[in-house]
Every structure is written in C-alpha cells, then in structure tokens.
Chain A
C-alpha cells in the first residue's frame, strides 16, 4: 500500500504545488489521478518516485519510507509525460538498459509485444512518432514486472486501438503480478474504463477520491414523476446530490443507491427510470455537492 502523509511542495517563491496532501492508495488497484493542468499530478508522482524532494511529509510504501529507498525502487517504475531515451538507442537497447536495472525485467515480453505493435526493435527511437515513443516507454515499463507502476499522462499520443491494447496489457499485468498502477490524466474519460479508484487533485490536495465500483453502486440517476405536484422538499429523506425539474419530470442524483431505490418505490411514482451515470457526471455531482464548480476543477 502507498500512503502519502502530509506532503507539501513548493517551487521557489510561487504558491505551494502540493499542500499537506494525504491519501492512501490500496494494493492491486489501478488508481487514476485526475486534475487540471498545474494541479500537482506530475509533481506528486515525482515525489513518490524520489525525483523531487517534498518540503514536508512522507511517502510510505509497504510500511517503509520510500524516499530514495533502493530496495523499494526495484519494485517501482515511472514513465513521465515527457519521455526520455538515450541518443541513438533503439527499443532493444532501451530494453537492455531496463533489464540491467530491474531484476524481474522480461525482454521477451518487449520483443513479443513490439512485434504485435509493429515497432522495429532496432530502429533509433528518436526517429519514431510521439505515439510510438510512448508505446516503447510503456512496453519497457510493463516488462519490468515492478509491483508499483506510475504513468503520467499514460495514453497521451496513442490511437484508440493501441490505447485499448495497452489497457488490456495493464489489466493483464495487474492480474499476473498483483500490480498497483497509478496513472494521471487531465481527461477523466480516458481513465473511466480502466481505473478502480480515482482521486481528484485540486490546488495541491486531493479534493475527492473513491473507488469507482462503490461510487457507481452508491449513486443513482433517476427520472421521476409523481401523481401530485412535487418539489425538492419531497426528497428531504434522501441524500440528494443534484435535483433538476423540467415540467412534471425531475432528474435527481442520489447517494445510497439501495436505500434510495426502496424509498423511491414506496413513493409510487408514475415515472421512475434509472439512467446510466458516467464517471464524469459522478464527479460533477460530487463536486457540486461539495460546493465546487466542475469546470473550475477539471
């Protein structure tokens, strides 16, 4: 488990990028970290990976202090948003480098997947397109078989087919090695179909986090109409996140899905439709409930 305790970080005289940030990231999960540009996502990943030093706070991984911990780092791999490859190196050369650094590195995996993705192993990576470079970096990272994987703007530059392929590879990796994956994006939709947990970073702190399954089971979106005239007060006993009424039909987002469904049935509505709820909507309503404007945060 990754535990972040009261992390703070500032760059020079500017305002803190991270401000007393604390959170826990469970094992064997894909944790999506979302936030607007400048929210501190990349800085957070760099601190976890001992690239930057936090001004305050601790990073605990598997109950050990993770800062500059060489033993732990063998189980951690980080792919930043801005990729680095040695000058003149091919994918095979880079894989050999990773092989020298990571004890569990599987070069056969890189060769096999490069073949599938039509990446030439011996061509200078610098001549590849942005998306191909990203593929190379991701392949090397997955092949490390590290227990903790950190990806910044994971799928940036990948086309939908390749993106899907990598999502599958990451899912397989999780099953194979009990891997914990932390990935960032400024685009919520990109992480929707792969993450188990999501954290929303805003102004240097986690504004909201939770596992998606619970969110999905806990929240419902209903369209309802009652026989008699009704307004928001009729739903005082519910945990209402959002209420909008157009004509005789109201669209309501409710928490405590099971309980709410029972209560709604008892109200004997003339219309009661349960609508699918996207991750983005869940975030919007959760944030609105906390008094934030979604557009301002993400």
Chain B
C-alpha cells in the first residue's frame, strides 16, 4: 500500500491549525520540564544522568502527550456535529486515518527531537554531558513507546463512543494482562521458598529463604516494564513495537469499519458496555479480597460499597445515566462473588512450597553469576547463616533463577567471599580511557575531559597508598558500567588528583564558618593532642587565616609516599612537607597557649585519657 497516496497534507495542516494551541502547549511542556530538571541536577552537581533520570518526565508525558495528539486529530469521532463535518469533507476514511496517523507520529518525533537537542545543548553549557548512546536509547525507547500509546489511544477511540470510555478501553488493553500477572505473582509469593542443602536434603537448618517470585518483565511492553525496572532493554522495545504494530492494524481496520453514528455514548451495544464496566471492577474485587483476608469486616464492607459506587459512577460518566439499576446491582454482586471465589481457589491451588534445587544463575547489581561453584558457595553461605553472626556477612539483593523461574531474594554472603568475587567474576566492562564520567571518592562526578582521558591512557594499577579512588562510568549495553581505579603511587593522574583534592579542600574550608565541624589529620602525631578533635579543631580554627595561607602555598607540592592527610567535611588535603607543617602547627599551638578555652580543652583531654 502506497501510504503517501492516502496522505493529505492540506487536511493535516488545517486539522492541526485548529488544535495548534493545545498541541503546542503539551509539546513544549515536556522540554520545559526537562530543562528545569537538568538545571536542578546541575545545581546539585549530579552530572551522571542515568536512563531513569533522563526518562522520568518523558515517561509521565507518555500517558498525556499521545492522548492530547490523538484527541486533537481523532477526537472528532466523539461528536455527531464534528463527525458530519469531517467525514463530509473530500477525503475518505483511509486518508483521514493515515494522514492523522502520520501527522501524530511526526509531532511525537518532533517533541522527542526537541528533547534530544535540549540534552545536547545542556552538554555544551554545563557539566552534564550525556553520552550519545544514552540519548539514542532515550530517543528509540520513547519514540516506540509514544507511538505505541498514540496507537493504543486511537484504537480506544475507534472502539468506543466517548473520551472516557475510550480511556477505559485503552487502560484495559494496556493493564489488564499485567494486572493478572501481578495477581498471579501475589499468590505465588505467599509460598515458602526452600533451598536444597548440598546433600540434596531439606533437613538442614535455616533452609527457608525469604524470596519473592520475580515478575517476568520480559513479557511486558515498555510503559509497564519501566514501572518495575527503569532501564533500557531491547526486549521491551521490541515487545512494544510488536504491540504497536498490532494496534496499528486493528485501529486501521476498526476506524474504517466504525459506525460513526456511535458517539456521545459508551458503546451502542449495552452488553459491551456491561462487559467493559465489569472488567474494570475486577481489580477492585482483588483489593476487596485482600481486605477480606488481611483486614476487618467493616473495612471490607466499606470497600465493597465504594466499589459499587464506582460501578454506578462509571455509568454516569460514560452514559450519563444509570443503566438498569437492578441488573447493574445483580451483575456487580455476581462479579464480586465469582472474583472472590476464583481468588480464594487460586490461592489454595498455588500455595505449595517451592524448592530451589536447580539454581542456574544469581544476578545482583554488580554480578551476573552463572558459575556453578560460585553459586553453590553463595547458597551454602545462606544455609550456614546465623543471625547473631551478622557482622561477618553482607546482605545482597539478588535475582535467583531456578528452572527458568526468577526469584528476588536478599542473600547473606560472607564478606570474605564477596571480596573474592571481583577477581574472577567481573570482566573488564570497558576500556577506562573510553569512560564518560569519573567520580572521586566524595562522590561528585564530572564528565571526562581530553586531558583526563590522556591520563587514563597512561594509567597503570599500583598500590593504594593514598586511599583515594576514582569510579569511572561508561554507558555500555544500555546502562552505566562502573570500574573503580585507585590513585596509585606516582603518575600524572596522582598529581592531578592531589591538586583537585587540595584545591577543593581549601575552597570548602574557607567557606566553612562552623567552628565545631569535624577536622582530623591522619598520619600526624602530636603528644598534646592525643586524638582530641576538639583541641585540634580549636588550634587550627584559631589560626585559620594563617593556616589557609599555608595550604594555598603548598597545594601544588608534589605528593610523596610519606604524607599527612587533613580531613574535613568529606574533603581532604595532602601534605608532603611534614616538617614545615609540624613547625607551623607548633607555632599555632603557642599562639593559643594562654587561651582559657584551649586550657579547658587540654584539661578535659588529659582527664579523659588519664
């Protein structure tokens, strides 16, 4: 089919012209919101923008913007007057559908392109510079998702006679199957999950683990999977695209066959009205069931009454009258009864113990463990775990795959085992010189400059003498991968890092007027101080100007293995010239010798350590 044969540019132009105000408003609101969001990130020095950070507002817009576009272009079918006007124009239904479809897709593409441009412009003027692969993921993910929603709404419009009903139909198409999955998951997660002991028996202590069956997100479309896991996944995008294609063909067929006299009411056929209305009440029946099993009878009764009120209001909104009240009451009672019966029966049917005897994968945020030996070691840790021994364990969130079914669990793992995992489980995720962002230990990230990149090229691992590390991030395989590197003994990166740290320390210390803030000097011994932060703080703050002057003069000193480290407010300053600092510090001490506060602190300190 030659689509362009059915595309009528003049019709689209005129059709958009009449809705230009509302379309422009909704198309511009998203870029505007994104600008504000990026400004806030920039102000908070959050320069690593993840897919979730970037997507949140666009995700919310996904429910609204395609609806607005669909309403402007296809909303005429809800009113008799506009149906007469549009369909009497010299354009046939196929052309109306295809013209409006292409027009809507162009608007969606245009909005997303504006957003992409905003992201790129932010990269030029701020430290927020998003990797192109992230922006490409964003564009593909939301282009497919927005088109999916647009087609979903057109299908809803074509199936029903007014806006409210079409929204209900669209939501049912979108959410009903995921709702059933959630219900199914709820019942399955009431089960006990057992780990089989290494010898295959169930009789070892503590073999029951707290685990939930993971929702199989792979069978969802992007709008739903984003709720569970807001990362880009090709499989979600492919599913969404397939559903979008199905909706395209369905909506095209139904729009062409649609009885245009069906408008200003829900459905021409009251049976379909009843069916749709009843489907919408089933989730409420599930909540009633939950209330019945976990709450009081009074609360359940109130919920039932509220559900029935909703059932009535649905009629009032979609048909502007209550449709056969006795029948409505009867259908509601029958639906509630059947639903409660099914849920109760399903709980009984599904409530059996699950035994994990064939774990093939344990996946955490950091590791994807498929090695059978490692899996066994981790599971053995879980079996051996005793709650009073918690200090030797770390609890990690993991997804366990057993016989192709996934469970989410919190697994205790010995610190010693965890420490050894990195060695043989983590592949080099990327070449560090290709990193997008770096983050110093105090967690402020920055995009990598050419200069920094060159230093990374020359980087060689060494000893961690300064206890300073960088986390390097790169957007690989649709997510940020992280590699941590230590600042080694001697390299251009070391000097560069020390300058950054020292300069940052001075800046923070200068602006810090709180005399009670923490300050410490690691690697520095003074017999009078005996680890008294109070005394140290008093001596340094009493000589603050002179101290700052010293720090400024020595901030570019070359670092050596023998150093002392001043720490304050999550910043640190490295001093290599220990002798000069010692002299300075003694001078500072003399300056405050006669201060009563100093004497008081000294006395307090001596008594404490007596």
Q: Which residues of A contact B (CB under 8 A)?
A: 11-12, 46, 49-53, 68-70, 73-74, 76-78, 80, 82-84, 86-87, 89, 96-97, 100-102
Contact = CB atoms under 8 A, between A and B. Distances in A.
Contact of B91 (A53, A70, A84, A96): A70
A217 B499 CA distance: 111
10 contacts: A12-B268, A69-B92, A73-B88, A73-B91, A76-B88, A77-B88, A80-B81, A101-B10, A101-B14, A102-B90
A89 B11 CA distance: 16
Given A97-B14, A100-B11, A101-B10, A73 B83 contact: no
Contacts of A102: 90
Interface in B91-111: 91-95
Most A C-beta atoms less than 10 A away, residue of B82, B89, B92, B93: B89
Contacts of B83: 51
B87 A51 contact: yes
Interface of A is mostly: loop
A46 B84 contact: yes
B80 A82 contact: yes
A77 B89 CA distance: 7
A247 B557 CA distance: 137
Contacts of A69: 92
A84 B10 contact: no
B88 A89 contact: no
Nearest to B76: A84
Given A70-B95, A82-B84, A101-B10, A52 B90 contact: no
Nearest to B94: A68
Interface of B, secondary structure class, is helix
Contacts of A87: 18
A32 B63 CA distance: 49
B199 interface: no
B84 A78 contact: yes
A258 B593 CA distance: 141
B90 A101 contact: yes
Q: Which 3 A-B pairs have the closest CB atoms?
A: A84-B85, A78-B88, A73-B90
B14 A70 contact: no
B143 to A, nearest CB: 29
A52 B11 contact: no
A46 B82 CA distance: 13
Given A11-B261, A53-B259, A87-B18, A101 B89 contact: yes
B18 A50 contact: no
Contacts, number: 70
Interface in B62-86: 79-85
B519 to A, nearest CB: 67
B13 to A, nearest CB: 7
Nearest to B93: A68
Contacts of B85: 80, 84
A119 B607 CA distance: 100
Contacts of B92: 50, 68-70, 73
A76 B89 CA distance: 8
Given A12-B269, A76-B88, 17 more contacts: A49-B87, A50-B87, A50-B88, A50-B92, A51-B87, A52-B261, A53-B260, A70-B95, A73-B89, A80-B81, A83-B81, A87-B18, A89-B18, A100-B10, A101-B11, A101-B90, A102-B90
A82 B80 CA distance: 9
Contacts of A89: 18
A46 B268 CA distance: 18
A46 B13 CA distance: 25
A11 B95 CA distance: 26
A51 B84 CA distance: 6
Contacts of A73: 88-92
Nearest to A77: B88
A96 B14 CA distance: 9
Q: Which of B11, B80, B84, B95: most chain A Cβ within 10 A? A: B84
Contacts of A77: 88
B13 A52 contact: no
B14 A100 contact: yes
Contacts of A12: 268-269
Nearest to A51: B87
Nearest to A144: B90
A275 to B, nearest CB: 43
A97 B269 CA distance: 35
A74 B82 CA distance: 19
Nearest to A68: B92
Of A50, A68, A77, the most chain B CB neighbours within 10 A belong to A68
A49 B91 contact: no
Contacts of B87: 49-51
Contact of B90 (A11, A51, A76, A96): A76
Contacts of B80: 82
A46 B81 CA distance: 12
Contacts of B82: 84
Among A76, A77, A84, A86, max chain B CB count under 10 A is at: A84
A59 B10 CA distance: 27
A80 B13 contact: no
A97 B85 CA distance: 12
A50 B89 CA distance: 10
A106 to B, nearest CB: 16
Contacts of B88: 49-51, 73, 76-78, 80
| Most chain A beta carbons < 10 A, residue from B82, B83, B85 | B85
A3 B93 CA distance: 22
Nearest to B6: A70
A222 to B, nearest CB: 46
Given A84-B85, A86-B18, A87-B18, A101 B261 contact: no
A84 B82 CA distance: 6
Given A12-B269, A46-B84, A84-B82, A52 B93 contact: no
Interface string B505-539: 00000000000000000000000000000000000
Contacts of A53: 257, 259-260
**B95, B261, B268, most chain A CB atoms within 10 A:** B261
Residue among A52, A82, A87, A97 with max Cβ neighbours from chain B (10 Å): A97
A53 B262 CA distance: 12
A125 to B, nearest CB: 12
A89 B17 CA distance: 10
A263 B484 CA distance: 119
Contacts of A76: 88, 90
A74 B18 contact: no
Question: Which of A51, A53, A76, A80 counts the most B-chain CB atoms under 10 A from its CB?
Answer: A51
